[in-house]
Structure 1
Amino acid sequence: MTWSIIALCVLVYALQWLIPNDEVYQDFAYATALTEVEPWRMFTSAFLHSQGFFLHIVLNMYTLWIFGRVLEPALGRARYLAVYVISALGGSVGFFLLTPVSMNGVIGASGAIFGLFGALFVVVRQRGGDVTQLVVLIAINAALGFMVQGIAWQAHLGGLIAGGLTTAAIAYAPRGRYQLVLQIGGMVLVVALLVVITLVRMNAVGGSLPTSSDVSSI
């Protein structure tokens, strides 16, 4: 799954360059003002990367490869993919919750990758390992979100929490006949929580959200 996700991100990045008029970005980037009318952007934006900063995709894919090599065997393909996708959603929810409503686009796999940070933290703790170095790594990367302009720390935070909660539902489910059911139930609860947070935020901003007829370019 790790290589599949990397391949998909690279393919989408190539399409960003090949398809004219910035169409891929316009159609799939996430903007908080589009949450109600085009909610799928909360997922699709995680597969787009900045064309103006090549290291954006390079660093994200390298980090994905490093963490994926550890987490995919530990969690299993399906669970690993679930953690990644839910973390991507969590990143968008975090950005929606902690930023003003606007048509400014946000893209990148960073929210999902921070979810993998949270996932590895849970896995290592559950197995009794030392998480000191991982905590330092998370802290350094989190700090960059406040120090470097253009980095959405809100998405990092949302992804980190979503990834940690999803993995906790997997790692701490009691062994036995109903383990898989409990794991799936836990993951569903995390998604439900993210949906509820999104709905509450949408209700709070109310008139700031456009209707489908009001949507303009991001």
Structure 2
Amino acid sequence: MVRFRTGSPNFPPGIRILLILNGLIYLAQKLLPDMTGWDVTEWGALHHWSSPLFKPHQIITHMFMHDPQNFGHILFNMFALWMFGSILENYWGTKRFLNFYIICGIGAAVVQVLMIPYEAARFAHASYVPEAWPQVIQAYTEQYSMIGASGAIMGVMAAFAYLFPNTELFIFLIPVPVKAKYVIPVYVLIDLFGGFGRQTGDNIGHFAHLGGALVGIIIVIIMNRTNRRNFY
């Protein structure tokens, strides 16, 4: 969907690790349920802390999971990770980039979990009579699950737009290049509208995207002010 005008970045080691890890886990999601009966997706997906399905490891594992029935989900995420993340890793170094990526993913998870009751309430109010709202909200919250690297990748994209604002990108169906400082904020606005403007759920973790972008931009601003070359 997006490509650089000046050419394609390479594959630094951190990006290779993330691409391979996501690919292997995607294969496990598709194959292991039939081979072993183990539902890898349910085990690794992020649930609300009030759900009996919640486990602490899900704060990390959810960002390496993708919809096993939708190859486009992992394909687009990994493309965006490679395109924007390669530049950041080459600029920061591998350890710094991987730390940043994981922190953005955790931030996305925390924001999304905090907003699950809000989404549950909106869903209940839009679809059910008032007498059923408490039961619907409880069921929605307990059954909710989230997978995907999008939150962490939104952090990467936000950092890229901050550090390289005038980089020109080609966007699908737009015949002229658009600078990153204009493209990435549009994605954020779409998630703001998707999170607060829609009446019912659309199966997209908009608040995770917003959380990842927020954490990413905060980290990169702090790093820029202190001129730190590493954080561990």
1:75 paired residue number: 92
State the match for 1:9 in structure 2: 22
Distance (Å, rounded) in 1 between the aligned partners of 2:44 and 2:167 = 39
Q: Does residue 104 in structure 1 map to residue 141 in structure 2?
A: no
Aligned to 2:179: 133
1:214 equivalent in structure 2: none
Q: Deviations over 1:19-49 (max 9, x none)?
A: 1145211211101136896222111100000
Mapped to 2, the partners of 1:140 and 1:8 lie a distance apart of: 29
Q: Kindly provide the CA deviation profile for residues 175-214 of structure 1, in whole angstroms up to 9, marking residues without a partner as x.
A: xxxx45xx53xx7xxxxxxxxxxxxxxxxxxxxxxxxxxx
How far off is 1:69 after superposition? Answer: 1.9
Partner of 2:48: 32
Per the alignment, residue 151 of structure 1 pairs with 204
For the residues of structure 1 that align with 2:142 and 2:186, how far apart are their CA atoms?
Answer: 28
Offset of residue 122 of structure 1: 2.8
Q: Aligned residues: percent identity?
A: 28
CA contact (8 A) 1:45 1:106 kept: yes
In the superposition, the TM-score normalised over structure 1's length comes to: 0.72
The farther-off stretch of 91-100 and 8-17 is: 91-100
Report Cα offsets for 1:121-180 as digits up to 9, x if no partner.
33236xxx5797224322443455427921110000000011112222323224xxxx45
Q: Compare the two structures and name the one with the higher helix fraction.
A: 1
Letter aligned with residue 159 of structure 1: G
Q: Does 1:120 align with 2:120?
A: no
Which of the numbers 47, 51, 55 marks the counterpart of 2:64? 47
What is the rounded CA distance, in whole Å, between the counterparts of 1:92 and 1:115 in structure 2? 12
TM-score normalised according to structure 2 size? 0.68
2:94 alignment partner AA: R
For the structure 1 residues 50 and 22, does the alpha-carbon distance in structure 2 shift closer, same or farther, using more than 3 Å as the test?
farther
Deviations 1:78-118 (CA, angstroms, capped at 9, x unpaired): 11111100010011011012221433110000000000012
Matches within 5 A, 1:203-218: none
CA distance in 2, matches of 1:167, 1:31: 28
1:92 maps to 109
Letter of the 2:222 counterpart: A
Query: Number of paired residues?
Result: 176
